[in-house]
Every structure is written in C-alpha cells, then in structure tokens.
Amino acid sequence: MINFDELTAVCEQAGAELMPDAALAPLTTFKLGGHCKALITLPDAQACQTVYSYLRENQIPYALIGRGSNLLVPDEGYDGVVLKLSGKLSSEITVDEGVVTCGAGVSLKNLCLFALERSLTGLEFAYGIPGSVGGAVYMNAGAYDGEISQVLQFVTILDENGKLRTVPAEALELRYRHSILMERDWTVLNAGFWLEFGNTDVIRDKMQDLLGRRKSKQPLEFPSAGSTFKRPEGSYASKLIDECGLKGYAVGGAQVSEKHAGFVINRGGATFADVMAVCRHVQETVKAQTGYELELEPEILGAKK
C-alpha cells in the first residue's frame, strides 16, 4: 500500500514530479497497456537517491522506464511506481577530448545528432533506434553490425545501496542483447562514449543510409516494440517466421507484420493479451516446424526476472 501523502512529500523535497494513476500506453512505442499507481519523473541524481531510498525502505514496487521502445505493459497495468528520468538526465550532453557524456534519459537520436554536429564517428548504427541511452546500455542495443559495447566507456549508476558509482564498460558483461544491469538493482544515470573524429559528410551519409534502410524494410508506420524476438543462434527470427508462413497472422489488433516478419505490430486497438497470443503462436509454430526456440526481446513490465 502506497502512502501518497508521504510519497508526495518525498517527491516535493527531491524536486521530483508525481502523477498518480498514470496511463502507461502513451509512454511506450507499442501504445498499449494499463496504468501504474504513480509516475515519478526524476530530474537529477540527488532526486534519484532520495526517491529510490524511500521506495526501497517502504518495499514499494518500482520500475524505471526510458522511452518505452522495448517494453510491453500488461492490460492490467503495473501495481507499483514507474520512474522516468527528466531534467539534465534526459537532456544534457557534453564532450571532452572525444569522450561524449550524457544523461541516461537522452534519446539515441539526439546523441547521434550531437556527435554528427561535432564530426564524431562511431554511433551511426544507433541513429533510428527509438530508445534512450540508458535503455540502449541496459540491453546493449545494436543494429547494422554495430553495438553499444563497441563505443561505451563507462556508466554512472545508482547501486542497490543508494550509492553513486562509476562502472567501466568492461565490467557490465555486455554481449548480444544483455548486460549485467539485467541482473542487478542498478540504475544507469549517465553514460560515457569514446568517439573518434571523422568526416561530417561521411557520417551524415551513413546515418541517412541506415535510416533509409530502416524505413524501407521495417513497419515504422505502426506502433511496435521493434524486433519482437531475439536472434537465435544459427539463424534469424524474421527468416524462421517468414518460412513458417506467419506473416500477417493476427489476433485482435496485433499482427505479425507483412512487411517484416520479425515485428509484431499494433495495427489498431491491440491489447497486451492480443500481442502475447500472437507471440505464443509464433513461438509454438516455429518450434514445431524448425526446432528453434524464439525468445521475446521486449521486456514485460512487472515480470519477474
């Protein structure tokens, strides 16, 4: 049970904003799901320390979300507090001798544009990934032969004891769609990237080329969480789904994209239950016909890890 009077007072003290009974669908790229008990936006590290400490001490369930691009929210919502980074943690980007440091709430798009404006290369692959820096670090996001692990130098985290720590990238156990953050109660607040100087026109051309490829091959006109299944060892999820004749398979408003079999989309009015029904059918069919087991890539808010 949340004592909203106490929580409101804590947020006011910390300079954080609290919104009770907040709708989560608008905060995700899938545009579906229910409400949370409260949404709190955190403007700086000190606010994070204060609010996290209160939530932990009072055993209130909480979850930090970024731009909601790799997230599924159940129809019944989330029986706890959802946290989002704001202020400097979602806007500030600086550079010093090739090391670009930014808040974890900064969008990958803005980070890539910041690098382009300063002729810094290394992040072109991330242009068009609709997520935040923190989310990208959390899952070691990647595309077109690039991954966050290739350029990440360090992160500043709030650890399980409420302490701020700087952790080098090599300690994060970064591999395909994985980091140690998935197993630890750590929150990324800032990240630093080592980028090299390059030719601005070449950097811009590569970014536009990759963005063009995304638009031509992916169903970006529909809400989704991007690639719905992780790449199985030895094959590709989209190839297996296509070979099983599942393009266009639909339940309610959820559908396997006819443009790209690796995407389950919200073609209008989809519920979480619709999406999960489509995903289960895809997993069962691919397993039966090919032997491959497909694993969901998006996280489910509130699901036990």
- Indicate the pairing of strand 71-72 with strand 299-300: parallel
**Sole residue written with tokens 């199985």:** 232
- Transcribe 208-234 into DSSP letters: HHHHHHHHHHS-TTS-B-S--BPPPTT
Pseudo-torsion of CA 48, 52, 54, 56, nearest 10°? -170
Active-site annotation holds for 227 = yes
> Which is the catalytic residue, given 107, 124, 177, 224?
177
How far apart, in whole angstroms, are the C-alpha atoms of residue 61 and residue 302? Answer: 9
Residues 106, 44, 128: CA angle, nearest 5 degrees: 5
How far apart, in whole angstroms, are the C-alpha atoms of residue 21 and residue 209? Answer: 42
How far apart, in whole angstroms, are the C-alpha atoms of residue 105 and residue 80? Answer: 21
What region does 21 belong to: left with phi over 0, alpha with psi -120 to 50, or beta? Answer: left
CB 68 within 8 A of CB 20: no
Active-site annotation holds for 297 = yes
CB 296 within 8 A of CB 70: no
* Residues involved in catalysis: 177, 227, 297
